[in-house]
Structure 1
Amino acid sequence: MFCYFLILLLIGCGDKSVKKDAIKDHPAEKTETIMTEGSDKKILFFGDSLTAGYGLEMGQAFPTLIQQKIDSLDLDYAVINAGLSGETTASGKNRLEWVLEENIDIVIIELGANDGLRGIPLSETESNLKSMVDTVRETLPNARIILAGMKIPPNMGPEYTKEFEEIFPKLASSEEIYLIPFLLENVAGIPHLNQSDGIHPTIKGQKLVAENVWKVLQPIL
């Protein structure tokens, strides 16, 4: 984990031009939707480049790997990958209502990393995440919600870093929703599991991310 923080710290502090690219988390890309035809219930993955599978081929991101696990168990669920590179909680809050649709049974919210890299006020990040939870509940009152926890490097200071990490379990507890403790557990900071930018998982890394998600998602299914 220390190596992960060190890598991102170097990105954040060593080169201003690199920092700009890392903070933006790459230009926004078209949302990709991957579904299995004929499924009655849907699982929406709503996030940033980690969900979108930045730098990988279509079908290599962890939401598609989750679909493969679901299919292998003959479960009647279709996965929708609504990941968008560069997404912050503010832009996600504005986009969410456009991707919510009927028959979505589970919504997985994976946002916040770009907020942390930008040093966005923590109260704003927490408020935006809560607003997304509220939007899901208002639009799809029967849908179950999973929040993906995230951590950031310490270049914004130890207090900011600690409080950022605490946003996710705090919100999951107060809103009584499910929590993935840390999406990149056993992936962050391990060179061969991340692409050259040190941030986005490789194909092998995505498989481990899928396992982190599956630990929380499988009991719900």
Structure 2
Amino acid sequence: MTKIPSKIPRPLMFCYFFMLLSLGCGENVNKPKEEPATEDTDQKLEVARSYGKILFFGDSLTAGYGLEVSQAFPALIQQKMDSLGLEYSVVNAGLSGETTASGKNRLGWVLEDRIEIVILELGANDGLRGIPLTETRTNLQSMVEMVREKLPNAKIILAGMKIPPNMGPAYTAEFESIFPDLASKENVSLIPFLLENVAGIPSLNQSDGIHPTIQGQKIVANNVWDILGPMLAMENHQ
């Protein structure tokens, strides 16, 4: 894994963070003995079935690269909801190295019944690879449309992302604008910048300098909760 020199100026640290981001990127035959159903177990199963699902669909940031799944921000969101008695279950569908093109091809496989909210976190790898911005924008819009077609009642949250100015100021500015523009056009919620207060800060990232530490994941979870929390509160008061 590439090491980051210890004395890189902070602006360069932020750029280096993003340049490396894209790199991060048998059936058991002994079946348990079946126990007779009881009224209590039936009630528990019914409660489990009643839980709505929240799908986190993204790249290595969502997957929690370098950490246990239980330490990634989607799991932290689950813990938060459990502590508040909110009956939702998280589905972490993050995949390291994912681009908007590969994400668009994969999304249909993970959309399932009872998903009530989709958090879409993709695009950073497109920007780092210099993929035409029209392609990134089109792929993200296509994914929004796919969710609405298959799950017309699901709400969508788009995670905003930023990239360093390596591709030039025009490309960088237009890339960043994709997310708020699309959120406004499609009337979906927006996390302004998923890695706010984390990106480029060595103490909040792992030794590779690109993936959040446990503490960094907690801040990312708070960034997500700022948007998701009010949405859940509104849902539970309807």
TM-score, normalised by the number of residues in structure 1: 0.87
Within 1, Cα distance between the matches of 2:182 and 2:90? 24
Query: Residue 6 of structure 1 corresponds to which residue in structure 2?
Result: 12
Query: Residue 132 of structure 1 corresponds to which residue in structure 2?
Result: 143
How far did 1:197 drift?
Answer: 2.1
Within 2, Cα distance between the matches of 1:108 and 1:9? 25
Query: Residue 63 of structure 1 corresponds to which residue in structure 2?
Result: 74
Question: Percent identity between the aligned chains?
Answer: 71
Pick one of 145, 148, 157 that aligns with 2:168.
157
Closer/same/farther in 2, CA of residues 164 and 132 from structure 1, 3 Å limit: same
Pick one of 104, 108, 129 that aligns with 2:119.
108
Closer/same/farther in 2, CA of residues 5 and 153 from structure 1, 3 Å limit: farther
Structure number with greater Rg is 2
Query: Residue 155 of structure 2 corresponds to which residue in structure 1?
Result: 144
1:176-219 superposed Cα distances (whole Å, 9 cap, x missing partner): 00000000001111110011222110000000000000000011
Unaligned runs of 5+ in 1: 13-18, 27-35
Q: Does 1:120 align with 2:119?
A: no
1:73-95 superposed Cα distances (whole Å, 9 cap, x missing partner): 11110000000001000000000
How far did 1:5 drift?
Answer: 4.9
Within 1, Cα distance between the matches of 2:14 and 2:130? 14
Within 1, Cα distance between the matches of 2:145 and 2:128? 25
1:1-221 equivalences under 5 Å are 5-7=11-13, 9-10=15-16, 22-26=21-25, 37-221=48-232
The amino acid of 1:208's aligned partner reads I
How far did 1:134 drift?
Answer: 0.2
The amino acid of 1:134's aligned partner reads E
Instruction: Indicate the larger mover: 187-196 or 46-55.
Output: 187-196
Within 2, Cα distance between the matches of 1:192 and 1:106? 32
Within 1, Cα distance between the matches of 2:79 and 2:49? 15
Closer/same/farther in 2, CA of residues 128 and 218 from structure 1, 3 Å limit: same
Within 2, Cα distance between the matches of 1:129 and 1:192? 32
Question: Are the aligned partners of 1:63 and 1:79 in contact in 2 as well (CA < 8 Å)?
Answer: yes
Within 2, Cα distance between the matches of 1:22 and 1:42? 28
SS in 1 for 2:90: strand
Closer/same/farther in 2, CA of residues 37 and 164 from structure 1, 3 Å limit: same
How far did 1:25 drift?
Answer: 3.1
Q: Give the root-mean-square deviation of aligned CA atoms.
A: 1.9
Unaligned runs of 5+ in 2: 1-8, 26-46, 233-238
TM-score, normalised by the number of residues in structure 2: 0.81
How far did 1:164 drift?
Answer: 0.4
Question: Are the aligned partners of 2:57 and 2:93 in contact in 1 as well (CA < 8 Å)?
Answer: yes
**Matched positions, count:** 204
1:13-37 superposed Cα distances (whole Å, 9 cap, x missing partner): xxxxxx6x643432xxxxxxxxx95
